Each structure stands twice: as C-alpha cells, then as structure tokens.
Amino acid sequence: MPNLFDSAHLNWLDWSVLGVYFGGLILLGFVLRKQSGEDLEGYFLAGRKLPGWLNGFSYAATCMNADVAPAYCGMTVMTGVFICWFYFARFGLALMIAALLFAGLWRRLNLRTSPEFYELRFSGSAALTMRSWVALRSALIALPAWTGAGLLGLHKISSPLLDWSIFTTLAVVIPVILFYVLASGYVGVVTSDFFQTLIIIGSSILLMMIVLVDFGGPTQLYVALENSVGSEAASVFPPIGHEVLGLVAIAAWTMGTAIGYGGDAAPMAGAMEGQRILSCRNERESAKMYVWTTLILFLLLATLTLPALAAMIHWPEVRTAEKKELAYGMLMAKYLPPGLLGLSLSAVLASIMSTVSSNMNFGAQVLVNDVYQRSLIKKASLPHYLLMGKIFSAGILVLGIIVAVTATNVIQISIFMLGLSSAELTANWAQWWWWRFNGWARLTASLGGPLIFLLNKLFLFPNPWFSFPNLLDFGPHNDYMIIFISMGMTLIAWVAVALLTPPEPMEHLVEFYRRARPYGFWRPVAEAAGEPLPPQGRIALGFIVAPFGTVMAATGILTLSLLYLGQWNGAVTTFGVMLITGTIFYVGFSKLIRPPDGDNTKSNAPKNPAVETVEAQVVENS
C-alpha cells in the first residue's frame, strides 16, 4: 500500500487544501453539535425550520452520489455534449411533478418520517407491514446500495490520482463522516451539504476555464472535438439510435423515474428525500425544495461533465466500458496545478460525503422511528433512542462499505436500483389519488414488484427459450425493456388485488381525507366526511405546468453547453426558450402552490398518535 503522503501527483499544497477541508468538516461537527437538537425531531429534522432553498442545495448534493465525476464523466466520453439528456431524463420531469403535486401534501401531514404515512393511509396488519417494510428496505437495501456506489465512485477518483487502494480511501474518509454526522445530526448534514455544493461548483468551473484556455477558447474546443471524435459528439442533441443514450434510453429513464414519483417520499432510488420535505418550514417551501434541487443539480452536473469533453480528445483509449470511469481522475491530474488539484479532489470528496452522511442520518431515523420504537422497544428514554440512532447510522455505513468493496460499476448499480424501484412506482400515485386502493394492493406492488423485476431480470429474459422469435431481445436496451415490462406486470397485479379485496374502512379513509386533503378520485370519502370534493383539474394542471419547469432548467443547461463550445446562435435560441418556459412555470407554480396563511405546519390535527412531536430548538443554518 502506498504511503498516503508520498503521492506522485499531489504536493504539499494539495495536501494542505485537503487537510483544511477535512478539518473544516470536523470543526463543523463541533460547532453544530449543540444545535443538533435534544429530541428526535431536532436531531433528525432540524426542528422543521429549514427553507426550501437550503434543503434543495442539500438534496442536489445528495443526488450527486453515484452520479459524481467517475460515472458521469465516464458516460460523457462515451457520448459527448449531449450527456446532459441523461440527467434531464433521470431527474427533470420527476422532480417537477413531485414539487407541484406531492411535496405540499407530504408536508401537510406533519409526519416525522415518510413511512408513517402507511398507517395513516391504510389500516390493520397491511399498514404496519408496509410501514416496517419501507423503513427496512430504505435503511438496509437502498441506502447501503447508494452509499456503496458513492464510496466506489470515490475510489474511481483516488485510484488513478493518488494510487490508493479502496481500503486506503475508506480508511481516510470514513472516520470524518462518522464524526460530523453523529455529532451534529441533520442540521449538520444540511449545513455541510450547502458548503460542499459551493466547493463542487467552484472547482468544476475552474476546471472548465482551464480546459478552455488549453484549447484556445470555446470555438477551438468545438473544432477539436468535431475533428477528433465527430460531429455527433459535438452536438447538444442526442442521435435517435445512439447505443448508450438514444431515444429508447432517454424515454426509459424519463418514464422509469417520473411515473409514480413523489407519491412515495422514501423510494429505493432516493430514499432520503422525505427528510428534506418534512424538515421544511411549510408546504410552499417543501415544493420549492424540489425546484431548487433541479436547478442546482443540473448546474452541478453540467459543470462537472463539460470539462470531460477534453478527455475524449486527449485519451481516445478511455472510451471503453472498462476505462471510461477513469477519465475524470486523468483530467484532474493533467490540468490542475498544485492547490487546485487538492481543491478539486476536495469537491469530489464533498459530493460523495454529502450523500453518505444523508444516507446515514435518514436510515437511522426510519429504523428508530418506524421499526425500533414502533414495534420493538416502545417506551424507552429519549437518550436511548438517540443512542440507537447513532448505532444504526454506523451500521448503514458498514453495509455501504461492503457494497463498495464488492461492486465494480457505478452506473450498473444505478440501473439495477432503478429497475428494483420502478416496478412498483405506479402504485405510488394510486395511494394518493384513488380511494379504492387498499393496503393489500400496496403490499402487492411493494413486495411483488421487485420480485417481478428480479424474475424478469434473472430468469425470463436471459432464458434462450424466451428469445424465440426474438420477441424479448432488445439488444443494448434490454435493461430498460425489462423495467418497462416489470412496471406493466406490477400494475396489472395491484389493480387486480385492489378490485378483488375490500377497501379500507370508511372511517379510516375519512380521517385520512380530512388530514391530507388529497387530489383525485375521492368522491365517496368526501361525501361520507361531509367535506368538499378535491379541486377539479388539480392533477391535470400539475402535469401541464411540470414540463415547463423541466424545459426551463434543461434549456438553461443547453445554453451553458452551447456557450462553452462557442455556438453563439444556438445559445441565444435556447436562452430565449428558457425565458419563455421559465415565465410560464413561475406563473403556474404561483397559482398551484399558494403562500401559507400563517403557520400551516400545525394546521392539520390530529398528529399521528404513534409519534410524540416535541418542539425543537434549532436555529436555521444557512
């Protein structure tokens, strides 16, 4: 194992920058440890006093987990400038739908954790089973997988740059994460995310500028890219039939992430977002959280991937599945002088440590609240539950380490987790919009959906018998088609179960309706409750406005990409589209998401009887 301070690439100035970064995180843990809250709500939700923009910064940094430099820059060298369509498809529409149709509803319920929802919406053993299952799958399946993907991504950087083994990387990073998460709780996670996001953006912009200087300017970079790789790689629009990022892949990611998104605030593809919603100060701020997440996340990914165009020119040999994820480390080693190299490495550490810390905090929260306190030890002291939360945090990190040392490909983890979670996504909307959807249908989707996906992935599609006459052979798009087919099969299964089993007791549905005021098909429940019907057309308006927000954010990134390559006329056009769609989205958002009248965080009583909410004394850190 190489000596940590005898690297061929970093000098004393770089190590000094890294030392300041790690020291800053440790100092942050000390400073914020008294503001972490003396109760569970303070420790895990920062007293529900956070603004949407701060939670948006935090969630954007968290979403950078498996999509940090090695994965996204690796995809860039395999595609080109149009890599942006991958994150447009993966995040854009889904986040806007969640902002306009679901964020306010979740915040309105005033829950401590998102799995609590299932005992409000459903009744009996099915409700408790769902609550426990969602908490366990989040903490023991989804979060360790994403934590491991992040740690693996970090190793993809440190390997070519520092010549570290994965064990050396983990030995350096893990103690720092453990300290500031366990010491400061959620307020420390969010505050550190904000500063780490600034580090990521700042270092990425510096690398962008250095690459432009090296090539002589934007136009010269475009010419070099077109001459070396071809006009396809220099276009901001993807070829329809591209093997890696063609129309099928973009449609698959858009549908696989947007359908059902928002209806479950603890999905396997991003389980910690419920914590961001529930810690916002009111419903409008929770909706703004998703909008800020989209804008900041797109900016993070654009500034991260645009410099990778230089790797396509300098190192054609990395354009292979085996070597593509080494591109960003090679860029850093080539372009960054002493000091800036340490800063950029700090940014990579920041992006991954942000996700790991969020996963640890949220996973511990749901394990304590929805499993340990709910079903195992119901009447222990508050210090006992806080201690168990810290123990669970460390346990999730250990599981993530196991994933990191056994997995090999960051993007493959993403695709597998997308498939595992997408099969059940249609049920996430149904539980909010259709009164007839019951607990047994929810269990069918949540337990049967992943099983259907695994059956298709591991047995049905690989079986040569089913390939005749090539009906289930989609070549490079097989993974996406497996996801589509699994979603359809799961939809049929849960609809059948919902229609063949009795609905939830009317008194239970009435209590949920009065508290949540959901949209959609609730007429029988509204009439039984003597309450107004859901607003007509509210869901349709949300779906109409959401694409304008997506296009606004996407055309902003297309404008930046075109400017980076000196395509001035195209940049003017996309900038104009951004202004038009942004104006329409702003008007629509303002109409659908009204400012709060007073303190709406307490407007919906009664609170969940299983949860005792204590007023936290946490100041806003921004």
- The answer to whether position 182 is within a domain reads yes
- The answer to whether position 468 is within a domain reads no
Q: What is the CATH number of the domain that holds 86?
A: 1.20.1730
Nearest-10 Cα torsion for 314, 319, 320, 323: 40
Q: What does the pLDDT read at residue 122? A: 95
pLDDT exceeds 60 at position 93? yes
Residue 405 has, within 13 A of its CA and on its CB side, a CA count of 12
Q: Which two tokens stand for residue 271?
A: 């389980």
Q: Distance between alpha carbon 560 and the CA centroid of its chain, in Å?
A: 23
**pLDDT (tens digit per residue) in 380-421:** 888 888 888 888 888 888 888 887 777 655 555 555 656 566
Distance CA 352, CA 451 (A): 30
Residue 474 to residues 85, 419, 458, 464, Cα–Cα distance (Å): 21, 16, 16, 14
Rounded mean pLDDT, 239-248: 80
Distance CA 53, CA 285 (A): 8
Judge whether 396 and 360 are in contact, CB under 8 Å: yes
* Burial of 460 from C-beta contacts in 10 A (0-12 / 13-18 / 19+): middle
- The answer to whether position 476 is within a domain reads no
pLDDT exceeds 80 at position 263? yes
pLDDT exceeds 50 at position 3? no
Judge whether 595 and 284 are in contact, CB under 8 Å: yes
**pLDDT (tens digit per residue) in 567-591:** 999 999 999 999 999 999 999 999 9
**What 3-state DSSP class applies to 259?**
coil
- The answer to whether position 353 is within a domain reads yes
Type of residue numbered 210: I
Residue 89 to residues 83, 553, 599, Cα–Cα distance (Å): 10, 12, 36
Type of residue numbered 158: S
**pLDDT (tens digit per residue) in 440-484:** 999 999 888 888 888 887 777 666 555 544 444 445 446 667 777
- The answer to whether position 69 is within a domain reads yes
The distance between the two most distant Cα atoms of the chain, rounded to a whole number of Å, is 74
pLDDT exceeds 90 at position 215? yes
Domain count, the chain: 1
- The answer to whether position 621 is within a domain reads no
**Nearest Cα to Cα of residue 204 among 322, 61, 318:** 61
Lowest average pLDDT, out of 162-171, 372-381, 540-549, goes to 162-171
pTM of the model: 0.82
| Whole-number percent of the chain with pLDDT over 90 | 35
**What 3-state DSSP class applies to 521?**
strand
145: domain range? 12-409+536-602
